[in-house]
Amino acid sequence: MNKTPVQVSSYIKLGNVTEKLGSNLFLYQILEETPNGVVIVSTEHQIIYANPAASQFLGVRYGDLADRPLEQVLGPDNDRLVVKIKDFQSAPNKLDTSRLRYEIVINPATSHRCVLDVVVAYLPSTPEYYLIYLIDLTTKRQLERELRRRNAFFHNLIDSSVDSIIAADMKGNIILFNQGAQAMLGYSEKEAMSNLHVTGLYQENVAYELIKRMRSEEFGGKGKLLRHEIIIKPKDGRDIPVSFSGGIIYDKGQEIATFGIFTDMRAILQIEEDLEHTHNMLIQSEKMAGLGRLAAGVAHEINNPMSGIMLYANLVQEELGDDHPLQEDLKTIIREAERCKVIVADLLEFSHQTTYEMDLIDPNAVIRKTLGVLKNQPLFHNIKIILELEDNILPIFGNSMRLNQVIMNIVINAAQAMEGQGSLKIASRTRANHDIDEITISDTGPGIEESLLEKIFDPFFTTKATGEGTGLGLSVSYAIIKEHKGNIRVTSTPGNGATFTLRFPAVMENLLGENHEQ
């Protein structure tokens, strides 16, 4: 209690202001102990009194502020505040507003940097001086900067996610729509936040079912929902399959928002489909290899007796003469034996029992040659043939006669399926950075039932009537394409025709000369 009178007596020399303070020790002690700075300034802008907090904020030793100009204490970086105070002082309505507020920085370039909220107050009862209140904002501004930094970090983190991240308030208004969501769904952030309700992203009633499950304990705990495969609707209306995980955000136990993380499944599903197709092709290849070995044995066993039958039938035909009544029967025997020989030839072809030369060939030339042979046949008179052949397609390594057989089998099957009416489109192009040559053959026929798609390359499988086909055409084509290191795929929708896609390894142009030299 002895400290206050000493301080008061040391300020008696400052005039009636400190005398007034000293006359009320209670008020004086409040000023001395308050954590906010208090400065009393004359109308000539000379400091009359400053409490310890003000001295600390302004970086001046306590007791050294008296009689110093305000402008000098604040420093040149805060000249603008002094100008504002002078303008405020001269304003005719200052007594009506009575307060001026401004933010300043003391010692901005040092470790003692201090951010202050300055309130200048004029009191009508004491026009000979005015008060300045200093509120330390340093910690608050540091926290704000740290909060902004963290917000920026999390915002960048969310925006950098390849997944779509979307949040909405409990009314369904979108409050977060990251760049992944913008890229996948086609809405801009502004569009999503102003015009889009979160339920518009889902199929009917799905949003409400997701909320219901989030509130349940059964799907990862209350407030969480993990890995649900759903369909969402982008701006263009095309459904996108996604893996959804999300949750509810709570504040003091109250639901305030929901969020969802959407992983685009299209690429993953495509990979799974390709893997499934590759798996089926491997199974098919193994099955074809086994059937090929079986067919080779059967063909050789049938070929020898068929040759004997044809030989002796021809001898008997010559011996009996043209007028013999059995002549027609003998012709039937010879014709059916020749048909068996054709089937045997197909079996040998299927089982790789023939040899042929491989060379660089132009796929477009193979297509044109095949069509040149077929287009004048009656079956093709009412079929419109559309060619879309890439001019600079790369060559492939193979046998043109064998590939002619493949194209011919597929084209004839298409014409027969269309019953001689419709259009046939054949296209060629280079794909996969010029590593693959692709040929597609599409028809406008009735298409192929989904249940039959996996069987059409099986030997002896045919949808034609008995006696109209052996069922070896496509299986032989499959074997030929495999010998050329290629693959064949068929897609079809019943009623909308079928498309056969053939792909072969392309030979780069710089290898063309090397192969010819060899």
- Residues 399-423 pLDDT 10s: 888 898 889 889 988 998 898 899 9
3-state secondary structure 371-423: HHHHCCCHHHCCEEEEEEECCCCCCEEECHHHHHHHHHHHHHHHHHHCCCCEE
Q: pTM for this one? A: 0.45
Domains along the chain with CATH numbers = 34-141 (3.30.450.20), 161-264 (3.30.450.20), 267-354 (1.10.287.130), 356-518 (3.30.565.10)
Task: Give the range among 106-110, 157-161, 438-442, 490-494 with minimum mean pLDDT.
Answer: 106-110
H or E segment and range at residue 101: strand 99-106
Tens digit of each residue's pLDDT (9 = 90 or more) over 207-226: 888 988 998 888 878 888 88
pLDDT of residue 2: 37
Catalogue the E-assigned strands of 314-382: 359-361
Helix (H) or strand (E) holding 194: helix 189-195
DSSP-assigned beta bridge partners for residue 242? 230, 264
What pLDDT, on a 0 to 100 scale, did the predictor assign at position 501? 94
Contacts of 222 (CB under 8 A, 6+ apart): 214, 215, 216
- Whether the CB-CB separation of 321 and 330 falls below 8 Å is answered with no
**Tens digits of per-residue pLDDT, 324-357?**
888 888 888 887 777 777 667 666 665 554 556 8
- Across the range 17-38, mean pLDDT stands at 72
User: Which residues, 6+ apart, have CB-to-CB distance to 15 below 8 Å?
Assistant: 48
Is the pLDDT reported for residue 511 higher than 50?
Answer: no
Q: How sure is the predictor about 15, in pLDDT bands with cuts at 50, 70 and 90?
A: very low
Crossing angle for the helix pair 473-483 and 266-320, to the nearest 10 degrees: 120
Distance CA 425, CA 438 (A): 14
- Taking only the tens place, the pLDDT of each residue in 291-300 is 666 666 666 6
Beta strand 47-50 pairing with 174-177: unpaired
Contact 480, 405 (CB under 8 A): yes
Is residue 187 pLDDT above 50, yes or no? yes
Q: Which residues contact 196 (CB under 8 A, 6 or more apart)?
A: 174, 187
